[in-house]
Structure 1
Amino acid sequence: MKLIDGEGMSQLERAHLAIVRAVDQQGSMTAAAEQLHLTQSALSHAVRKLEAQLGVAIWTREGRRLRPTQAGAYLLAVANRLLPQLAHAEERLRQFAQGERGTLRIGIECHPCYQWLLKVVSPYLAAWPDVDVDVKQEFQFGGIGALFGHEIDLLVTPDPLYETGLRFEPVLDYEQVLVVGAGHPLRRSPFVRPEQLARETLITYPVAIDRLDIYTRFLLPAGIRPKRHKPIETTDIMLQMVASGRGVAALPRWLVEEHASKLELSMVRLGERGMAKQIFVGIREREADTDYLRAFVELARAHRDRAGSPT
């Protein structure tokens, strides 16, 4: 890929974008050269030539580390957006040429989403033996950015963002509930009010507060915060902590029910009306008719219809 100026002179090539990205990732010319399988002198020469052609510095040195200038930061953003798209396009074209379908790259934006995904992936792999599945849980741009940037092909999320070019399909309806131990005073309550959690230790997944429904839809609108907030990575440990009386948690009812036979837990509605949620599958609109993508969405929808809506 080349960008051409008005006089037809080559200015910016794909290799330059790869260099900018590698230097940012590695923090030094030496490490970037090693990653790109170049000599340091060849990499330095390419950078100097690019800066001379563009008439602007791309990096500034801070101690031993290189930091992008304003122009460098812009070029890095371009590289981060375009390079995954080019790699994806090349891979898809290779698959077309060889009659392959390749890999379905699935992004996950919530911890319970992974538990749900396991129920769908198994029958999908059985139905599509020539398609591999790769699951990604961390993205450079967030889930929506990863979908736009072709880092993933499909996004599983409870919080869809309806942008032009994307399509989201609801695949699971569920209720978010408060989970308490067998000896907790709230265990027999028909529902819990926000102020009743002011003295509690709230156990959640390690996610920013502004992405936790228990905060954004329940506690913060009432001006309430728990006495203590304890992030825990795994569902099993979280529920064991709750069962042992170390705190309370807000989780999907269906997920808690799967563990109910192993642990003494009680579920209480969040508010008198409860808290309804959904899981969505998002894909790029222009790829909606791709057979193995469409098949995954249809299988997820069929699984939802068979399972019904958890309450």
Structure 2
Amino acid sequence: MKVFVPGHVTFFFSPRPEEGGSIGVGACLDKGVIMEAHSGRKRDNLSGIRREVVYDISKELEGEVHFSGRAQLPFKHGLGMSGALYLSVLLSKSIELGLGKTIEDIGEIAHSLELRRGTGLGDVIAQIRGGIDVRLKAGGPKTGKIEKLLPRKNYRVSIAPLGELETKEVLKSEKVLSRFRSVGENLLREFLESEGDLELAVELSKYFFEKTKLGKLMEMSNEFHLLGDSLDEKGVTWGISMLGKTIVSISRSGIERRVIRKTISRYVKPIECRIDPCGARVI
């Protein structure tokens, strides 16, 4: 059975590890992980995904299957790809073997994997729903509370991946978590009071980045700062995906999109997406 799980960008968040997750705002992308489980075939066909990682995830559920799949976005760039991989492997296997588990059941297992491995705090609950996510209560799909918004305009999202980053390396400091918590709480309050949309969320990500001193913590490259300055000069709405060395820009017209593509291309090949409105699903 073939499934799709969207990638996910987090614009700002407040970690709540004691509650099993985080609150904050992000958005799902129409690129992520496509995965198919086979109970009969004996050969795997994986592109951009390490076989040993897939089978390590697969052990969370009983039974044997083989997998075919591909990653449409890079890992370790703050694009929710660990959560997308966990969810896609487990969901495709569960459906193929008829294990009778709901998407929430699978989501809880995937969310638990994220927490144990330190690869994320809130991607999975958002990836199940799709759209723009406002995470109001920390936790997995069964315990967390999330509000789903749809974009008010037909936005395109342009992604500039400027370097790898291990999420767990950033989240291991209690001092850093405390700083994230207070700034993230304030921004979520502002977003809700303003009845915010995608543009506000993207803009607030820069404030989160500055106030939490992430630039110093993540050792951002010179290209990151140069690209940000160039996008500002063009009047582009842009922000940063947490936690990654990745700039995310949004556009509303073909002209604006071409300007963004040309600007990003000076530094790295851009990845272009839309907001995925549906979340994890069979395809």
TM-score normalised by structure 1 residue count: 0.22
Using CA pairs below 8 Å that are at least 6 residues apart, which structure has the higher relative contact order? 2
Q: Computing the radius of gyration over CA atoms, which structure comes out larger, 1 or 2?
A: 1
- The structure whose residues are more often helix, as a share, is 1
TM-score normalised by structure 2 residue count: 0.23
